[in-house]
């Protein structure tokens, strides 16, 4: 089924998310609205604790909004599914007792995304080649660097051909050089298939580099502060960085005044 380009792939409407602990009710996000369209590189940007991971969890179907709705291709999200694959920040998201290749093949088989083992293996090897891990397909995760593990997680997510790839600060725990290289690689992968990605970060330069659209969230509880179209020339990007910085800074002043 083809969808007209004007229909959002992901539609987040007035979403309030809360955690209920025995002592507290924590409001993580408050009435957040945004829409992701096919082939968007949509970035959620905001300070630590503003509810970015919580929003991704809700899109993933792991958590239900207390207010508002989330729709994927027009259907309300009620549970997790292979149409939304998640890549996390942690390096330990791979199955340690399975090889690199098996880590990609396994979800393809379990979900029925691949019709046969042969098809699953072909897909796995193709994606592992795209993330430059052909030489390591029979390695176990503990023998890989952090960056390599993240590349396996990305290959696994992409092999499933989800409607949307959810990435929660996937490069935050990497050293600066590796991080920059991974950002470049993600963009190269995107050029190849123009998959839709919802990317979370608290880094302004990373948001500008990765995103075609950026949603700026206010500190706890996360509310939409602005939506920024970030496609532009490198000069525009420098201006954009200082503009975003000012927006975040003005928020801090307002917070300080409230104390």
Give the interface with ligand ADP as residue ranges (CB under 6 A): 19, 21, 26, 28, 46, 48-54, 220
Q: Which does 28 bind (CB under 5 to 8 A by kind): ligand ADP, Mg ion, none?
A: ligand ADP
Query: SS3 of 225, please?
Result: strand
Name the residue nearer to ligand ADP (CB basis): 52 or 101: 52
CB of 87 to ligand ADP, least distance (A): 14
- Do 9 and 36 contact (CB within 8 A), yes or no? yes
CA 141, 147, 204, 199: dihedral to nearest 10 degrees?
A: -50
Name the pairing type of β-strands 197-201 and 213-217: unpaired
Strand order through the sheet with 75-76: 25-36, 10-20, 67-72, 75-76
Residue 4: CB atoms within 10 A of its CB come to: 6
**Prior bond to 216 cis, omega within 30?**
no
In the shown chain, the binding pattern of residues 41 to 80 toward Mg ion, with x for contact by CB under 5 A and - for none, equals: ------------x---------------------------
> Which among 15, 48, 8 has a CA at the least distance from the CA of 32?
15
**Cα distances (Å, whole numbers) of residue 172 to 92, 103, 167, 179, 249:** 14, 22, 11, 7, 22
Report the run of H or E that residue 117 belongs to, with start and end.
Answer: helix 117-130
Name the residue nearer to Mg ion (CB basis): 53 or 139: 53
Q: Which does 51 bind (CB under 5 to 8 A by kind): Mg ion, ligand ADP, none?
A: ligand ADP
Q: Which does 26 bind (CB under 5 to 8 A by kind): Mg ion, ligand ADP, none?
A: ligand ADP
CB of 6 to ligand ADP, least distance (A): 30
Residue 138 tokens, joined: 């029979």
Q: Which does 149 bind (CB under 5 to 8 A by kind): Mg ion, ligand ADP, none?
A: none
Q: Which does 151 bind (CB under 5 to 8 A by kind): ligand ADP, Mg ion, none?
A: none
CB of 99 to Mg ion, least distance (A): 29
Name the residue nearer to Mg ion (CB basis): 130 or 220: 220
Q: Which does 258 bind (CB under 5 to 8 A by kind): ligand ADP, Mg ion, none?
A: none
Name the residue nearer to ligand ADP (CB basis): 100 or 165: 165
Q: Which parts of this chain interact with Mg ion (CB under 5 A)?
A: 53
């Amino acid at each position: 089924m083809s969808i007209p380009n004007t229909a959002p792939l992901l539609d987040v409407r007035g979403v309030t998310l809360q955690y209920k602990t025995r002592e507290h009710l924590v409001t993580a996000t408050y009435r957040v609205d945004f829409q992701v369209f096919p082939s968007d590189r949509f970035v959620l940007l905001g300070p630590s604790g503003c509810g970015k991971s919580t929003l991704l969890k809700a899109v993933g179907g792991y958590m239900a909004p207390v207010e508002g709705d989330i729709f994927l291709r027009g259907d309300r999200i009620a549970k997790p599914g292979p149409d939304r694959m998640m890549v996390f920040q942690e390096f330990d998201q791979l199955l340690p007792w399975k090889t690199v290749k098996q880590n990609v093949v396994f979800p393809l088989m379990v979900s029925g995304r691949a019709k046969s083992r042969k098809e699953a293996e072909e897909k796995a090897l193709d994606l592992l080649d795209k993330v430059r891990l052909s030489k390591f397909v029979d390695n176990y995760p503990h023998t890989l660097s952090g960056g390599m593990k993240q590349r396996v997680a990305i290959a696994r997510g992409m092999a499933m051909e989800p409607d949307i790839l959810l990435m929660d600060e996937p490069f935050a725990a990497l050293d600066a050089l590796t991080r920059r290289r991974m950002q470049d690689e993600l963009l190269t992968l995107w050029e190849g298939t123009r998959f839709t990605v919802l990317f979370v970060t608290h880094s302004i330069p990373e948001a500008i580099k990765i995103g075609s659209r950026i949603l700026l969230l206010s500190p706890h509880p996360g509310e939409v502060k602005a939506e920024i179209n970030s496609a532009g020339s490198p000069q525009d990007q420098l201006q954009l960085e200082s503009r975003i910085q000012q927006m975040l800074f003005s928020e801090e002043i307002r917070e300080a005044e409230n104390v």
